[in-house]
Structure 1
Amino acid sequence: MKTQFLIPKIVFLAVFVSICASLQVFKDYFIYWQDDLFHDFWRLWTAHWVHVGWIHFALNMLAFICLPFIFPRVSTWHFVAILLILSPLISLSFYFFLPDIEAYAGLSGVLHGAYVAVACVHLMYKRERNFAAFVLLLILAKLVWENTVGNTGTAELIGSPVLVEAHLLGVIWGIVIAVFYLIGNYFWDR
């Protein structure tokens, strides 16, 4: 990866991790609370940027930091767009389709969506196609595992139940975003 492309990604990652860490200090004001969602509209985004604890925070930040290096072709602005689009889509999906979810905190749904969106787009590049397909296969296997066997080890580690519905919603919305991106690029390039 060339230095001119590496520096903006490192700055972006540092800023995002710092914002999340700052929000974490006052997480009760930023998590997804179903009753307060439209009164405190920022929760549509910030619910995904705070975590139930510092171990949860560290695990999700580590997974997020890896993404730009696993898929170096993606620009910093694409990552910003993914964070700004996926977060409210998942929050609104909780609100309208899963009303039993009263509270949520964590980046994992957005992470699943981001990895899927980026990998789907990379299927279009011959050199990255096999790796992108492998990433998608791993995510599919993880979803199947979580929805059949469960995720008790992670739940014990972070001290809270894992909301696998967030992972599934992230994947669904990640695919939708990738499709819109690819359609937009197709017509833009014509």
Structure 2
Amino acid sequence: MKDQIWIRKVILIAVCVSVAACLQVFADHFIYWKSSLLAEFWRLWTAHWVHVGWMHFLLNMLAFSCLPFIFPHVRNWHLVSLLLLLPPFISLIFYYYLPYIDAYAGLSGVLHGLYTAVSIVYLQYPKERKFAILVLVLIASKLIWENTFGQSGTAQLIGSPVLTEAHLIGAIGGVLCGSGYLLIGRKDKEQTH
């Protein structure tokens, strides 16, 4: 049974990386373009799966691929749910509240949301609680650093400016999703008792 769970996680990762690689070939048709976002609604999701280059793609796919193994209790349906909720959340915040963002591509905002949401959910596991707190502290520290001192050396590595607003919005989305999951779980437990 445990082997099947790991195999399913590997399949999910392979599917996501493959889809992102395919989208990357035609990136202009899938990135976030503010002027055409609502007319071409798929960009709400796809903008987060295309990247400014293959190095950017590689770094984000590596971070995404590590998540299910760092947090072994996370289920595929949790990840898929987050992958369906976080991209449009970030895109719509850009569209309605950050009008100066005309174009965007990359998974880093979603990654911040994924790691934040999963860490919050992991707070319920006593053996993993310290690790979850560590990850949350690291994410918060990174966000504070980026919003105080600016972006790190990642911009030089990927050859494009880093939109740190995406990281912050993604983390906020992660807090909402992770907290919502815990609240729903708590209500379900109360109703069964």
Q: Which residue of 1 aligns with 2:110?
A: 110
Tell me what 2:156 maps to.
Answer: 156
In the alignment, what sits opposite 1:186?
186
- Give runs of aligned pairs for residues 73-84 of structure 1, distance below 5 A: 73-84=73-84
Determine the C-alpha separation between the residues in 2 that align with 1:174 and 1:44.
Answer: 17
Partner secondary structure for residue 161 of structure 1: coil
Runs of 4+ in 1 over 3 A off after TM superposition: none
**Counterpart Cα distance in 2 of 1:96 and 1:29:** 21
**CA drift at 1:150:** 2.0
**1:14 is the counterpart of 2:14:** yes
- Distance of 1:65 and 1:121 partners within structure 2: 19
1:31-46 matched pairs, under 5 angstroms:
31-46=31-46
Corresponding residue of 1:143: 143
What SS class does the counterpart of residue 3 from structure 1 fall into? helix
Q: 2:153 is paired with a residue of what secondary structure?
A: helix
Q: Kindly state the Cα deviation for residue 139 of structure 1 after the two structures are TM-superposed.
A: 0.5
Alignment of 1:27-176 (within 5 A): 27-176=27-176
Unpaired runs of 5+ residues, structure 2, are none
- SS of 1:162's partner is coil
Q: Which amino acid aligns with 2:128?
A: E
Instruction: Provide the rounded CA distance (Å) in 1 between the counterparts of 2:146 and 2:38.
Output: 30
Report the CA distance shift for 1:100/1:2 in structure 2 as closer, same or farther (over 3 A): same
Task: Kindly provide the amino acid, as one letter, of the partner of residue 77 in structure 1.
Answer: W
Q: Deviations over 1:49-75 (max 9, x none)?
A: 000000000000000000000001010
TM-score (norm: length of structure 1): 0.98
Q: Secondary structure at the match of 1:126?
A: coil
Deviation track 1:128-183 (CA, whole Å, cap 9, x = no partner) reads: 10000000001011111111222241101111100000000001110001111111
Q: Distance in 2 between matches of 1:169 and 1:7?
A: 31
- Superposition TM-score, scaled by structure 2 size: 0.96
> Once superposed, what is the RMSD of the aligned Cα atoms?
1.0
CA distance in 2, matches of 1:187, 1:120: 17
Q: Give the total of aligned pairs.
A: 190
Match of 2:177 in 1: 177
Q: Percent identity?
A: 61
Do the aligned residues in 1 keep the contact of 2:50 with 2:106 (CA within 8 Å)? yes
